[in-house]
Amino acid sequence: MAVTAATNAVREVEAYGPNNDGGQRRFTVAAGTDIAKGSLLKFADPRTASQSSGEGDIIAGVAAMDKEGDDPSTEISVWTNGIYEFTASGSITAGDHVQSSDVMVNGIITSGDVANSTQIIIGTALKSVSTTERVQVRMNL
């Protein structure tokens, strides 16, 4: 059974890295877990990735593949370097640092006061957008 991507799934625009593969890294994931390609993933020790739940998460990257729950594998490829398209949870200005949002569902991001935030910067916005618009972000984790 195929994993269904969320409406706000992150989309690859340009992949960078030594092999132009988005700087893919392998992370451990829990067996029996569904993860859709384009899901924003959080990092946990030891080198484990799972679905991000928003503000305060340490972002591992974006799922570069589907991981189906009935698939016994416990690894996933994660994009970390390139330009990716996210959904804005508020107004974002070109050049803003963007972070995972506390109202996040997959690829929803926000900009904010970095000095007074617990959120982790995931990249830089490449255009100005309003709430719910799609924005391209230069990400290099």
What residue spans define the domains of the chain? Answer: 15-80, 82-140
Q: What is the pLDDT of residue 81?
A: 97
CB 52 within 8 A of CB 29: no
CB 101 within 8 A of CB 83: no
Tokens 């804005």 map to which residue?
Answer: 88
Q: What is the pLDDT of residue 106?
A: 45
pLDDT tens digits in sequence order for the chain, 141 residues long = 567 666 678 899 999 998 999 999 999 999 888 999 999 899 999 999 998 877 678 889 999 999 998 888 899 999 999 999 988 888 888 988 888 765 543 455 666 555 555 567 888 999 999 888 999 999 999
Q: What is the pLDDT of residue 139?
A: 93
pTM over 0.75: yes
Q: What is the pLDDT of residue 109?
A: 63
Q: What is the pLDDT of residue 99?
A: 81
Q: What is the pLDDT of residue 121?
A: 80
CA gap 80, 78 in Å, rounded: 6
Q: What is the pLDDT of residue 104?
A: 45
φ, ψ (nearest 5 deg) of residue 82: 155, -160
Report helix, strand or coil for 114: helix
State the CATH architecture for 82-140.
Beta Barrel (2.40)
Tokens 């949870």 map to which residue?
Answer: 89
Q: What is the pLDDT of residue 108?
A: 59
Q: What is the DSSP letter of 83?
A: E
Q: Output the six-digit token pair for 11.
A: 């989309």
Which are the contacts of 95, defined by CB distance < 8 A and separation ≥ 6?
A: 124, 125
